[in-house]
């Protein structure tokens, strides 16, 4: 079995992971700062010392890295790199602040920009965190930083990821696939095509460190 660390899982379990992880070959470790999410490991993104170097096959981080301060981001991504096996990968989803800015420019700050399973989402929620949860006292849901495709690519590079593919989705989000090693284009695309949605079905893909064959 391969291990996927489901970082900042919230109440979600393996059924909410991309189909890539649902072929029966993956064992999920659920990791979250909030004990109320009943994770397998209660821990912070900023300090993942409960997990050993090079022991994890994949990291799935959906809407977590915007929950730490900007100065903590390099440490978080370095922790992701440290615990991954060299042939592993990280799949990181987070808001795209460029798309959010465009929504605001077009008059959508407090209006719904899309419906999520938890309820309607506004640009304000994407910038500052899901207000309905924060209103109930869950301050783990507050957002403290933001990313563009370019800044996320730069942070991944600095953290020691040798190659990455980053795409925008239609819900004002970024999807980043990051690899500790330099991958061939074919190998990177083989993984990307098994995501849901596949990265090549998303928009404005940028990449670095991906080989030409
Ligand atoms: C917006 S929710 C995302 C939940 C789930 N991944 C999803 O996409 O539906 C953010 C999650 O990150 C967790 N979180 C926030 N700050 C964290 C931190 N510093 N370390 C670990 N988890 C954190 C929260 O407890 C929450 O479960």
Residues 125, 131 contacting (CB under 8 angstroms): yes
Own/partner long-range contacts of 30-34 (Cβ < 8 Å, ≥24 apart):
30/6, 31/5, 31/6, 31/7, 32/7, 32/8, 33/8, 33/140, 34/10, 34/138, 34/140
Residue 198 has pLDDT above 80, yes or no: no
Q: What is the pLDDT of residues 60-78, one digit of tens each?
A: 999 999 999 999 999 999 9
2-95+147-208: CATH topology is Rossmann fold (3.40.50)
Higher per-residue confidence, 118 vs 37:
37
Residue 3 has pLDDT above 90, yes or no: yes
State the Cα–Cα distance between residues 56 and 98, nearest whole angstrom: 32
Minimum CA distance residue for ligand 1 atom 1: 63
Confidence of residue 204 (pLDDT cuts 50, 70, 90): low
Q: Which residues does a 6 A CB cutoff place in the pocket of ligand 1?
A: 8-10, 12, 32-34, 37, 44-46, 62-64, 67-68, 140-141
Mean predicted confidence (pLDDT) in 134-150: 97
Hey, where are the domains in the chain?
Answer: 2-95+147-208
pLDDT > 90 in the chain, percent: 77
Predicted local confidence at residue 213, as pLDDT: 45
* CA 45 to ligand 1 centroid distance, Å: 9
Q: 149: part of which helix (H) or strand (E)? A: helix 149-158
Atom of ligand 1 nearest to the CA of 68: 19
Q: What is the pLDDT of residues 143-160, one digit of tens each?
A: 999 999 999 999 999 999
Beta bridge partners of 129: 142
């Amino acid at each position: 079995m391969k291990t996927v660390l489901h970082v900042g899982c919230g109440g979600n379990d393996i059924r909410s992971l991309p189909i890539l992880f649902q072929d029966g070959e993956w064992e999920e470790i659920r990791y979250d700062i909030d004990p109320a999410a009943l994770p397998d490991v209660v821990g912070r993104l900023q300090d993942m010392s409960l997990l050993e170097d090079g022991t994890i096959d994949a990291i799935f981080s959906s809407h977590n890295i915007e929950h730490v301060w900007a100065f903590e981001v390099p440490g978080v991504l370095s922790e992701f790199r440290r615990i991954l096996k060299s042939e592993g990968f990280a799949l990181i989803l987070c808001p795209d602040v460029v798309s959010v800015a465009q929504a605001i420019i077009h008059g959508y700050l407090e209006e719904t920009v899309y419906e999520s399973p938890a309820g309607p989402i506004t640009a304000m929620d994407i910038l500052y965190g899901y207000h309905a949860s924060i209103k109930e006292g869950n301050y783990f849901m507050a957002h403290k930083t933001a990313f563009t495709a370019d800044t996320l690519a730069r942070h991944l590079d600095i953290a020691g990821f040798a190659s990455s593919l980053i795409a925008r989705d239609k819900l004002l989000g970024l999807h980043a696939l990051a690899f500790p090693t330099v991958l061939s284009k074919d190998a990177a695309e083989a993984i990307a095509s098994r995501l849901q949605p596949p990265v090549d079905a998303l928009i404005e893909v940028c990449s670095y460190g991906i080989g030409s064959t």
